[in-house]
Structure 1
């Protein structure tokens, strides 16, 4: 992820003042959106840090509203009943939670069906929910904005596949550029005459036309949509990939080609069971696979990334002023967690200042991880001491955090694990360590042990806890402590400092500052 560093301020350093200090930012919390798609109807309620909200509630019902639309021109009658039932349930849940009005959007199936307007009127009459039917261009824009929610400053081509349509949009410099829509949704592709040969010829023709409209798009391809996520899940299964987090999962073009061949030659029911994919979703995967194969062959992206963020997150992004959009979602989520769960909220910034000399020459991409770790260093204190280190690792690697590559999740998890224990061997997560190179594992250990020592000096959120000086060429670590911190530097603190020095392969000296 490319996140542009923010201007430094004297008080808050390079990461700026926390946005949740601003009442205007807090007003975005507890936002509910509903996406009435061609294949599913989903409600998401966001809460937490405004720039990187958590999924307070997330429910999807597979309705297949768009099934048979190409033949009849109307919404699937059974899907219509199921969708109305789902919306009635979602509205009831939202009222029970004391939510403000839900934002509801409908995409290809409802906008293309002759009875789409009739369905919207029925929903309004039965539930009080007003459905906003958006066109393909707007759908592409919102999906692209959803990607920007998790990847500020990202660049490349967004491809959002739904049941009845597929949208493309380019993003660069935090902005959405050209965008187009097509009818390449799996539900519609099933109805193309001529079997697979006819379907593939149709896909080739449509994607060639999309390519002419969009031009060369050789950067990253961001995949948005349930069918893409299902294919990515199969890719993980085929590769024996150790982490099951789909967001920011990366694939090469060759890996995708291998997986598409794997799908063709596998028993779909066995594959579905092995990957935990629903039957309704798996039935669409072969159609989506043909689209993805031609998409990659035509646009030739440098790599492929899966985004769990899409139109629903784009609706949330739409409500954010630019001052929020430009913030780092990882840092804001970690700040929110510290404010909510740490024993001494605010000490994370003091700890960051304390440990940062150990990473003096590191790029911004590494320092944001150091900052995140310091903010999260104490949020799991309620966990049982015997499992605290593993809880920290599990939270970091599986939590809904935006702006983290999988290797960065492991770095953050290892740093927090070492915050509570010296050794990383003997945990249930050793198979994940391979996602981080040896240098990264060593740096995570050093950061974790530095935080483990620094936490021994935690008395207040902004007190003077001393200063570390690190001379890597001389392999010398120096600690200067203020006189008032001397009582804190006891036997356990000294042992933790020695452990840090051993990881640095350094000699250590300690000096008490004169009053």
Structure 2
């Protein structure tokens, strides 16, 4: 038998892996320090450069901008805490061998009369050079962080810090108009006055912003700790089952309901519900007033939370364009397979082997099939009794970009079915309502297809046989090369029958003369 000719590009639409390319490895261990008005955080990125892996991540709630509205200067206690944090970070990056080390300071340091002086003092003490960026540059970097996770993002990025809030228009992989405003909760805290006066000030500022960036964006991407805290409260209020903030979606109505919920509860009650730290939670009531007016004034159709922001935007800045153009999900899964799988590279072969079952799926779903094949074997070290749970958790809890929550659960469920026939009694039971019945069936088919295809891991599966799927007749044909007869043993036959059952199909196995040469 002569198999169909392999695609011109055997990697399909994703291209060959780039993470071993020198241009990609050059950005594989980058230290970024973000000196904000409320917090100072250092992140060291490592691994799959297109989809950041957090080798190190530490935050100190220094509060540099506390009291700025009254004094015009950095908070003295905040300066002491910031200096201590920077000394520690300098020691750490030296020990980790991170390079480059990029430090940026935002609203508090750029606006305080002693900001430049403190920057120079930190540089003398630590040797770390700090760039004080303006509001538009802050907006640009935050927008780049969103593009790192969503290359096709369209809409408006809204980044809130302690002393400022930035907006940036994004679309077609580019960043458009950018604007900054003094709507950070630390800044508002120092204005005084009653709630009515404060709301009027926020509303007036938002009206000005609307003139700059427009309204009715298809999606607003929320960046910043205060927004994430509000999203966490929304999750708690709705009893949402998947506790992953990145790509969490809310409607304007959801936001309105949650902001009412926040205003009716004390900081201590909200902390008890979510586990958010006190210094962050004390800013949430003020931040919720801002979000209410932003959503009301700018009228986005949908609100999404981005865990990627200015720090990831700085990483994105270091990437060559070919790397930026890659799919963050696929690149991350390739890196994980290379690092953890028993047979790195088999995931690509498995994908082509099971592809006939999924050819009618849209391209967006095919990338999830590809991701599943890359990850199908990376948890092989887990105890056999819990391997299915390890697979599910690795997908639903992993730091992966380029995934909606529905796609994340679909990926996790398909990997669960790679090792276990039934999902009953698993952690997925708590999340079942997120996926439709059709998607539940599709995830099971994908899992069972990978489980069967893995039986041919001794060599490239397409050299042993191929599957042909006839969807109108619901018929699955397995065509095996003569040399694969012994591989298609009792266990393989059982797994093939399970796949046929999941497809609700009829089947036929044909043994062919000769050896296949596909792959």
Scaled by the length of structure 1, the TM-score of the pair is 0.97
CA drift of 1:273 comes to: 1.6
The match for 1:504 is 503
The residue that corresponds to 2:160 in the other structure is: 161
Match of 2:391 in 1: 392
Matches within 5 A, 1:89-168: 89-168=88-167
Taking the TM superposition and a 5 Å limit, the aligned residue runs for 1:195-206 are 195-206=194-205
How many Å apart are 1:507 and its aligned residue?
A: 1.2
Separation in structure 2 between the aligned mates of residue 158 and residue 97 of structure 1, nearest angstrom: 33
Q: Does the Cα contact within 8 Å between 1:486 and 1:512 map onto a contact in 2?
A: yes
How far has the Cα of 1:382 moved from its partner? 0.5
Q: What is the CA deviation profile of residues 456-512 of structure 1, one whole-angstrom value per residue up to 9, with x for unaligned ones?
A: 110135761311111122111110112222211100000000000001111111112
Q: Distance in 1 between matches of 2:21 and 2:192?
A: 57
Aligned to 2:449: 450
Aligned pairs for 1:465-484 (under 5 A) are: 465-484=464-483
State the shift of 1:428 in Å.
2.6
Partner of 2:169: 170
Q: Is the 8 A contact 2:141 2:313 kept in 1?
A: yes
Instruction: For residues 98-139 of structure 1, give each alpha carbon's deviation from its aligned partner in whole angstroms, at most 9, with x where no partner exists.
Output: 222410000000000011111111111111011100000000
- Residue aligning to 1:351: 350
The DSSP-based 3-state class of the residue aligned with 1:17 is coil
Give the match for residue 181 of structure 2.
182
Size of the aligned set, in residue pairs, is 508
Cα pair 2:356 2:468 within 8 Å, conserved? yes
1:420 aligns with 2:419: yes
Does the aligned pair in 1 maintain the 2:219–2:304 contact within 8 Å? yes
- Check the 8 A contact 1:31/1:99 in 2, yes or no: yes
Distance 1:427 1:159 in 2: 37
| Counterpart Cα distance in 1 of 2:217 and 2:35 | 32
Alpha-carbon distance in 2 for matches of 1:320, 1:470: 41
Partners of 2:353 and 2:432 in 1: CA distance: 27
Secondary structure at the counterpart of residue 241 of structure 2: coil
Q: Which aligned pairs between 1:298-377 and structure 2 lie closer than 5 A?
A: 298-377=297-376
Contact 1:33 1:312 in 2 (8 A): yes
What's the counterpart of residue 36 of structure 1? 35
Is 1:9–1:16's contact at 8 Å kept on the other side of the alignment?
no
Moved over 6 A (4+): none
Runs of at least 5 residues in structure 1 that lack an aligned partner in the other structure: 1-7
Cα distance, 1:9 vs structure 2: 4.7
Q: CA 1:20–1:461 in 2, change beyond 3 Å: closer, same or farther?
A: farther
What is the alpha-carbon distance in structure 2 between the residues aligned to residue 101 and residue 361 of structure 1? 45
Partner of 2:255: 256
Q: For 1:160 and 1:218, how far apart are their aligned partners in 2?
A: 15
Residue aligning to 2:246: 247
Aligned to 1:16: 15
Q: How many angstroms does 1:255 deviate by?
A: 0.4
Range that drifts further, 140-149 or 268-277: 268-277
SS at match of 1:386: helix
SS of the residue corresponding to residue 487 of structure 1 reads coil
Q: Is the 8 A contact 1:458 1:465 kept in 2?
A: no
Q: Secondary structure at the match of 2:12?
A: coil
CA deviation map 1:52-97 (0-9, x unaligned): 1211111101001000111101000000000111111111111111
Q: 1:465 to 1:64 in 2, by over 3 A?
A: farther
Flag structure 2 segments of 5+ consecutive residues without an equivalent.
1-6, 515-519
SS of the residue aligned with 1:193?
A: coil
* Residues 345 and 461 in structure 1, CA contact (< 8 A), matched pair in contact too: no
The separation in 2 between residues aligned to 1:64 and 1:484, in whole angstroms, is 69
1:430 & 1:399 partners in 2: Cα distance?
A: 19
Q: Superposition pairs for residues 399-438 of structure 1, below 5 Å?
A: 399-438=398-437
How far off its partner does 1:10 sit? Answer: 2.3
- C-alpha contact 1:157 1:217 (8 A) present in aligned 2: no
Stretch deviating more after TM superposition (153-162 or 187-196): 187-196
Please state whether the residue corresponding to 2:333 is helix, strand or coil: helix
Matched with 2:488 is 489
Q: Deviations over 1:271-327 (max 9, x none)?
A: 112101110111100110000000011111110000000000000001111111111
Instruction: Using the TM superposition, name which of 233-242 and 260-269 deviates more.
Output: 260-269
Deviations 1:211-237 (CA, angstroms, capped at 9, x unpaired): 111123421000000000000000000
Moved more, 370-379 or 194-203: 194-203
Q: Distance in 2 between matches of 1:452 and 1:217?
A: 46
How many Å separate the matches in 2 of 1:9 and 1:89?
52
Q: Is the 8 A contact 1:146 1:309 kept in 2?
A: yes
Task: Determine if contact 2:234/2:258 at 8 Å carries over to the other structure.
Answer: yes
Q: Secondary structure at the match of 2:131?
A: strand
Query: For the Cα contact (< 8 Å) 2:467–2:477, is it kept in 1?
Result: yes
Offset at 1:439?
0.8
